C-alpha cells in the first residue's frame, strides 16, 4: 500500500462530525477525553476518527484555547559541537516529560542571527526559550519582542536582562586544572582561550590567570591566545607557542575544540608531543584512548540542558513568577593516562 499523492483530503473536525450526524463539539469533546459525553457516542467518534485518519490541528487548537503551545525553542551556536548536541538531548528529555517539543535554531555565533532566530521562534509561539548566547550583552533577549516568553540562558549569566540561567563552573574548573598543571611542576603553561566577548571565554581565562597568580607565576602574553573556538585556529596558536624559544611545557585548552587543536599541534612532533602536557575544559570522547595523556575538566552537558528546561517549565507552572534563579553545574577534574 503506497502513499499516492492524489491529494488525499486533509479532514477537519467538521468532516468527522458530518459523517456521524453530530456536531463538531461532540467530536472535540470525544477527542480530548472530556467528560460529559455518552460512552457510546465517544466510541463512535473515535472509530470514525481512526477510520478517516483525521488528525486535529494543534495550531488551531492553541489559537482558540489560548493555552501553551507545548513548544520550547532551543538556540545554540552549532549543534555539531558535542556540548550543544548533548545539551539538546537534556532539553528534550525534560520537555517531552511536559508534553512539549523542541524547536531548533543555530546561530553560528552571530548575534544578529541569534536575534532573528529568537524573534522567529517567538512568532511561532514557543512557550519558552533556552538560549546559549554568543554575545556578552543580552538586552535583545529582554525587551519588546519577547514579551512574556520566558528565557533561560545556558552557559552564560544574563547581562542586561534578568532571567534564569544555568552555568558551568567555568572559573573554578579552569583554575583547578591550571593548579594541577602547576602542581606537576609546570611553570610555563600556554592557554588556548576563547574570545573574551564570550562569558566562558573570560571566565576560563580568569581561572587560568588566578591559578598562575596564586602560584606566584607571571602571566606571559605570548602564552595566551584567544581564538574563536575553532580547532584549526587553536592548533595554529599552539604551534606558534611551541615554536617559541622558551615554549610552554603544558597547554591548557579552554574548550573541547581547543583541546583537539592542542592535540593536533602535538601530533607530528619528533617526540610525538610527549614532552608537553595537555589539559582542557569539556569532555572528549575516547580521551582515555589517545596516544597522549590528557587531563580534562569534566561535567555533564546533558544535565545542563535538563536543568535549563526544568527552570523553564517550573517558571511556566508557577502562578507568581519566581525571581530569576541561577543553577551551577559542578565540574570534576579527570585524569586520563595514555594507554599501555
Partner DNA sequence: CTGTTAGCGCATTCAC
Partner DNA sequence: GTGAATGCGCTAACAG
Nearer to its own copies, 35 or 64 (CB): 64
Nearer to its own copies, 88 or 224 (CB): 88
The residue among 275, 277, 286, 279 whose CA lies nearest residue 254 is 279
DSSP state of 288: G
The span from the CA of 233 to the CA of 257, in Å, is 9
**What is 220-239 written as a DSSP string?**
-GGGEEE--S-HHHHHHHHH
Least CB distance from residue 152 to DNA, whole Å? 25
63 binds its own copies (CB under 8 A): yes
102 binds its own copies (CB under 8 A): yes
Query: Which residues in this chain contact DNA in the complex, by CB under 7 A?
Result: 10, 12-14, 21-26, 28-29, 31-32, 36-38, 41-42, 56-57, 60-61, 63-67
State phi, psi for 198 to the nearest 5 degrees: -85, 140
Query: Which of 32-40, 50-58, 190-198, 327-335 is the region at the interface with its own copies (rule: CB under 8 A)?
Result: 50-58
Least CB distance from residue 127 to DNA, whole Å? 15
Instruction: Count CB atoms within 10 A of the CB of residue 42.
Output: 18
| Interacting residue with its own copies among 24, 62, 111, 247 (CB under 8 A) | 62
The span from the CA of 52 to the CA of 19, in Å, is 10
CA torsion sign for 275, 277, 283, 287 is: positive
Least CB distance from residue 62 to DNA, whole Å? 8
Nearer to its own copies, 101 or 184 (CB): 101
| Interacting residue with its own copies among 183, 243, 286, 317 (CB under 8 A) | 286
Nearer to its own copies, 104 or 233 (CB): 104
67 binds its own copies (CB under 8 A): no
Q: Decide: residue 309, CB within 10 A, 0-12 exposed, 13-18 middle, 19+ buried.
A: buried
Query: Which of 34-42, 139-147, 168-176, 247-255 is the region at the interface with its own copies (rule: CB under 8 A)?
Result: 139-147
What separation in angstroms does the CA of 61 have from each of 19, 52, 101, 114, 147? 21, 20, 16, 29, 22
Query: What residue 80 binds from its own copies, DNA, none (CB within 5 to 8 A, per partner kind)?
Result: its own copies
The span from the CA of 134 to the CA of 110, in Å, is 7
The span from the CA of 262 to the CA of 255, in Å, is 11
The residue among 163, 250, 198 whose CA lies nearest residue 83 is 198
2 binds its own copies (CB under 8 A): yes
| Interacting residue with its own copies among 17, 88, 182, 250 (CB under 8 A) | 88
97 binds its own copies (CB under 8 A): no
121 binds its own copies (CB under 8 A): yes
12 binds its own copies (CB under 8 A): no
Nearer to DNA, 60 or 338 (CB): 60
- Residues with Cβ within 8 Å of residue 205, at least 6 apart in sequence: 174, 191, 193, 194, 196, 224, 226, 254
291 binds its own copies (CB under 8 A): yes
| Interacting residue with its own copies among 25, 112, 232, 289 (CB under 8 A) | 289
| Residues between 208 and 267 that touch its own copies (CB under 8 A) | 260, 263-264, 267
DSSP state of 120: H
Nearer to DNA, 22 or 302 (CB): 22
Paired residues of 106 in beta bridges: 76
Amino acid at each position: 500500500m503506497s502513499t499516492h499523492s492524489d491529494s488525499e483530503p486533509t479532514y477537519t473536525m467538521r468532516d468527522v462530525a458530518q459523517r456521524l450526524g453530530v456536531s463538531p463539539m461532540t467530536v472535540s469533546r470525544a477527542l480530548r477525553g472530556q467528560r460529559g459525553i455518552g460512552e457510546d457516542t465517544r466510541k463512535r467518534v473515535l472509530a470514525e476518527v481512526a477510520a478517516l485518519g483525521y488528525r486535529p490541528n494543534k495550531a488551531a487548537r492553541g489559537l482558540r484555547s489560548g493555552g501553551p503551545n507545548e513548544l520550547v525553542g532551543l538556540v545554540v551556536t552549532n549543534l555539531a559541537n558535542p556540548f550543544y548536541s548533548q545539551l539538546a538531548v537534556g532539553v528534550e528529555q525534560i520537555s517531552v516529560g511536559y508534553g512539549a517539543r523542541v524547536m531548533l535554531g543555530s546561530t553560528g555565533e552571530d548575534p544578529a542571527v541569534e536575534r532573528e532566530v529568537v524573534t522567529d521562534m517567538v512568532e511561532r509561539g514557543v512557550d519558552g526559550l533556552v538560549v546559549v548566547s554568543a554575545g556578552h550583552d543580552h538586552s535583545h533577549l529582554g525587551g519588546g519582542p519577547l514579551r512574556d516568553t520566558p528565557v533561560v540562558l545556558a552557559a552564560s549569566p544574563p547581562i542586561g536582562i534578568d532571567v534564569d540561567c544555568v552555568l558551568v563552573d567555568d572559573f573554578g574548573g579552569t583554575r583547578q586544572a591550571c593548579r594541577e598543571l602547576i602542581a606537576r611542576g609546570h611553570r610555563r603553561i600556554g592557554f588556548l582561550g576563547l574570545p573574551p566577548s564570550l562569558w566562558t571565554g573570560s571566565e576560563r581565562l580568569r581561572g587560568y590567570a588566578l591559578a598562575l597568580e596564586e602560584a606566584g607565576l607571571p602571566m606571559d602574553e605570548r602564552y595566551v591566545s584567544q581564538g574563536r573556538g575553532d580547532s584549526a585556529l587553536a592548533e595554529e596558536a599552539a604551534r606558534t607557542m611551541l615554536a617559541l624559544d622558551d615554549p610552554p611545557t603544558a597547554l591548557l585548552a579552554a574548550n573541547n575544540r581547543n583541546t583537539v587543536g592542542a592535540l593536533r599541534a602535538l601530533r607530528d612532533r619528533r617526540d610525538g608531543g610527549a614532552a608537553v602536557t595537555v589539559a582542557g575544559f569539556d569532555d572528549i570522547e575516547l580521551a582515555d584512548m589517545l596516544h597522549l595523556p590528557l587531563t580534562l575538566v569534566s561535567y555533564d552537558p546533558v544535565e545542563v540542558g535538563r536543568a535549563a528546561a526544568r527552570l523553564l517549565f517550573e517558571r511556566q507552572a508557577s502562578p507568581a513568577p519566581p525571581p530569576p534563579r541561577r543553577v551551577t553545574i559542578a565540574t570534576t577534574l579527570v585524569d586520563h593516562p595514555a594507554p599501555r
